[in-house]
Structure 1
Amino acid sequence: MSPLIVALDYANERDALILVDRLDPAACRVKVGKELFTACGPAIVGRLQERGFDVFLDLKFHDIPQTVAKACRTAASLGVWMLNVHASGGSSMLRAAREAVNAAAGGTQRTLLVAVTVLTSMNDATLREVGVNSSVEDQVERLATLAAECALDGIVCSALEAGRLRVAVPELLRVTPGIRPAQDAGDDQRRIMAPAAAVAAGADFLVVGRPITAAEDPARALSRILSELAGDPVDPRKSE
């Protein structure tokens, strides 16, 4: 299965479904974030699943343990492939989330639970603004270690930290946003990396948004990234 997860950063169901109807569910999974979920509710998950897509529900739950547990149990009951919480919620919250997802498991598919470490829009300076005096790299490893201790399935980190975490917590999957083909701008992402380099660095899953969703031909943009991951040369004349 492809390591690519396409971020459906849309404000309405219509635009999201127009995009996914141009993609092959065998070539990628899809991510539903706060904007689309707030606009459409749980129904959008079902619409995507009907089209054959595995769904990563990216709502980054972060609250008191009981509240997060209830939210995770409800999310897992939707049959999503993956969901996430913030590791900075602490061990009690993470363990409550783990127990809730386990309790919601049914059928043959088990929802993966991953923990967000440090957002890819942040750097050392923004960590200091919120009272964290560690470097990004040290803070990511600290939170990843906590996630491992709480038996989560993986973490969300930038590809820049993936190699370090492959050594520190090899049992965890590494989900990496901030993936940008070399010719694309970083937008609001600060800690970014090209797809093939991210996989080489230790990423298991790559979250890609605008390089695919904003492309004139999203299917071809997706195909070009898959070709890059396979080590096939990309013809610049076919660039978007």
Structure 2
Amino acid sequence: MSATTHPLRAEWAKFATLRPLWAAPPLAVLLSAGITAAVQAAYGRTDTSLTGDPMEGLSYGLNFGQVAVACLGILLIGQEYAAGTLATSLAAVPDRLRFYRAKLLLGTGLGLAVGLATVGGQLAATAATVGLRLSAPGSARALAAEVLYHPLLLVLCLALTTVLRSQTAALGLLSPAVFLGTTALAAVPGLREAARFLPDRAGRYALRLADTPGTPYGHTTGLLLMAAWTAAAVLAGLRTLRRADA
């Protein structure tokens, strides 16, 4: 147990004492729930894109909150590359697998906590503005998928930052990609089909109730696709961490 708990405690201490890290989770929840509340209050009774599929309106704020989740994943290891403290961390935990595993466990736990708080906030916001409509088939699946979307996205960004070995590069590439990049690709006719298989697009599809014409997989499969992308990134991050100098 000490092989896991000691590195995990060290990672928790870093998280709890660095302001950009501990500020990201409440920011993610505030953005997701707050923007959902504002949009539902302003347009929820008139915009059919929000009322046609109840989960579209419920998770609207996630479009913005997910950027804070991605940034948290980047910062969990990227700040050590930026500050040059990775060598010190590896001196304290020479087994790089143990070090990496502690990062992943912390990221997964934080992602689950943010996911649960976000979904709870969005449910409360929707109930207070336009009322909840969760009787449609698939609602429980969509809510569970949104909770799981957060740790998958966070761990994916953490792992890709490990591959890039640069906080600046990760923030410059991954944050815009999560917010605009894949959406922009999906608007290009020649790339639309391929963009459907990108991790965030596949994961977000699991949050919907309605089917999208031309999507060659189901909602649950979308979340599994995102999980497969995340697993591949984790393995690539471990390979980079083991082979590259600190």
Structure with more relative contact order (C-alpha pairs < 8 Å, separation 6 or more): 2
Does TM, normalized by the shorter one, top 0.5? no
Normalising by structure 1, what TM-score?
0.29
> Larger Rg: 1 or 2?
2
Normalised by the size of structure 2, how large is the TM-score?
Answer: 0.28
Greater share of strand residues, 1 or 2? 1
